[in-house]
């Protein structure tokens, strides 16, 4: 183990994702000496992965509606979101030379539509602030004397920061660095860990072979999904294994919890949410003549082949011919969800360190150690909510560390 003499710093940040990097930036701007340790060869790997879809930074909707997206954790996250709002995140990106725009859905994206320019500018800013950025450095807990242990390329190092920010990520996409391997160490420090579970993931459905082979990859546009008392509106996608997409993710924990409780979850799909059943019935009552039912549905309601066949999957091959019954079938096509996709394929993870076992964001047994980002027990749908909370908790952890350090 190397000498501790040169390893006394103000703050060690462990984790080079958005939560860790924004904490490092805020602390360096306050004049603190900061070292960021990242176990992967490069920083922000999951951030870059998010950028492949355009990098949805945040959302422009009304703040009250925005804050409610965090479900059971809305109360504890709200003060942090108020202290670093979506407006603040947009201003931060602009300060790094990355202008943003609001998409048709209200989501906020950088004009570059990718993460790499923003990350490059961010890392350059951190270096300009004097932050030491170290990769291939895996956190190994603490030694008996309380030193922070880091396994670097030259062996194990012992550091003595005056404060530490842990931003170690959740457990989804482990190949990008978030593998949840830190749970055992923190449990040994008295942290309460809620088991990890996949969030923002697809669900398995027992499609017929014919439907799966023909329609895997086909979109379901502008549908309303209902499951476990939750509703979501938007687009979904038929997958070979089942169903996925933004509207599915927006249902939150409801399908996962129903499957855990009952072994399955029933998902009702409204294929025409803008039309009441009475309107559908009236249109379906028009003369069908010699048309097939599929053609009748296409002409009367503009149902696509994937929608017609989804109805058959949901209601059986013989759809009701009576207009009222057929309208009801279109308004609530029942699909049986049998399992969430594996955690390693989920966009994010539920579970992590419970807020109830923390003192603010500090470990109760180590009041100089603060937690941020996805390692905390919260979840939110896609749409900018994930990144916003990672940034907001990172800023909050930095503020708490700064208060701990004092003048």
What is the tens place of the pLDDT at every residue in 294-324?
888 888 899 999 999 999 999 876 788 789 9
Mean pLDDT check: name the lowest of 106-110, 145-149, 169-173, 197-201. Answer: 169-173
What the chain holds in terms of domains, given with CATH numbers, is: 7-197+349-406 (3.50.50.60), 203-340 (no CATH)
pLDDT at 6 over 70: no
pLDDT at 3 over 60: no
pLDDT at 66 over 70: yes
Q: What is residue 407's predicted lDDT score, i.e. its pLDDT?
A: 61
Q: What is the pTM of this model?
A: 0.91
**Mean pLDDT score, 71-97:** 97
Q: What is residue 131's predicted lDDT score, i.e. its pLDDT?
A: 98
User: What is the per-residue pLDDT across 225-283, written as a single tens digit (0 to 9) for each?
Assistant: 999 989 999 999 999 999 999 999 999 999 999 999 999 999 999 999 999 999 999 99
pLDDT at 207 over 70: yes
Half-sphere exposure of 363 (CA within 13 A, CB side): 22
**Mean pLDDT score, 379-404:** 96
What percentage of the chain carries pLDDT values higher than 90?
Answer: 85
pLDDT at 189 over 70: yes
What percentage of the chain carries pLDDT values higher than 70?
Answer: 98
**Cα-to-chain-centroid distance, residue 48:** 14
Q: What is residue 1's predicted lDDT score, i.e. its pLDDT?
A: 45
Mean pLDDT check: name the lowest of 50-54, 136-140, 279-283. Answer: 50-54
pLDDT band at 202 (very low <50, low <70, confident <90, very high): very high
Higher pLDDT, 319 or 201: 201
**Mean pLDDT score, 201-220:** 96
What residues pair up with 134 in beta bridges, in sequence order?
37
pLDDT at 201 over 90: yes
Q: What is residue 312's predicted lDDT score, i.e. its pLDDT?
A: 92
Mean pLDDT over each residue of the chain, to the nearest integer? 94
pLDDT at 186 over 60: yes
């Amino acid at each position: 183990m190397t000498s501790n003499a040169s390893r006394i710093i103000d703050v060690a940040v462990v984790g080079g994702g958005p939560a860790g990097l924004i904490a490092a930036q805020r602390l360096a701007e306050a004049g603190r000496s900061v070292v960021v340790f990242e176990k992967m060869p490069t920083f922000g790997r999951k951030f870059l992965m998010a950028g492949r879809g355009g990098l949805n930074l945040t959302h422009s909707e009304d703040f009250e509606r925005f804050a409610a997206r965090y479900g059971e954790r809305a109360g504890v996250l709200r003060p942090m979101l108020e202290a670093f709002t979506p407006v603040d995140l947009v201003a931060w990106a602009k300060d790094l030379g990355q202008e943003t725009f609001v998409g048709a859905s209200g989501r906020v994206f950088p004009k570059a539509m990718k993460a790499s320019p923003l990350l490059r500018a961010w890392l350059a800013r951190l270096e300009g602030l004097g932050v030491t950025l170290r990769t291939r450095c895996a956190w190994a807990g603490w030694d008996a004397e309380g030193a922070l242990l880091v396994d670097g390329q030259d062996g194990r190092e012992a550091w003595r920061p005056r404060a530490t920010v842990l931003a170690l990520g959740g457990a989804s996409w482990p190949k990008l660095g978030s593998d949840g391997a830190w749970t055992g160490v923190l449990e040994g420090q008295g942290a309460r860990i809620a088991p990890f579970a996949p969030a923002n993931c697809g669900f398995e459905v027992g499609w017929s072979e014919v439907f799966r082979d023909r329609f895997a990859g086909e979109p379901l546009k502008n549908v309303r999904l209902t499951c476990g008392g939750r509703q979501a509106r938007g687009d979904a996608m038929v997958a070979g294994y089942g169903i996925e997409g933004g509207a599915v993710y927006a249902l939150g924990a409801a399908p996962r919890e129903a499957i855990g409780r009952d072994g399955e979850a029933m998902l009702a799909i409204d294929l025409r949410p803008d039309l009441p059943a009475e309107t559908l019935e009236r249109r379906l009552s028009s003369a069908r003549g010699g048309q097939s039912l599929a053609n009748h549905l296409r002409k009367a309601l503009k149902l696509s082949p994937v929608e017609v066949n989804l109805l058959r999957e949901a209601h059986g091959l013989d759809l009701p011919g009576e207009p009222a019954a057929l309208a009801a079938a279109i308004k609530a096509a029942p699909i049986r969800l049998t399992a969430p996709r594996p955690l390693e394929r989920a966009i994010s993870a539920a579970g992590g360190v419970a807020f109830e076992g923390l003192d603010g964001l500090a470990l109760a047994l180590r009041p100089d150690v603060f937690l941020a980002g996805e390692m905390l027990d919260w979840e939110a749908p896609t749409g900018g909510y994930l990144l916003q909370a990672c940034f907001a908790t990172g800023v909050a952890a930095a503020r708490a560390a700064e208060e701990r350090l004092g003048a």
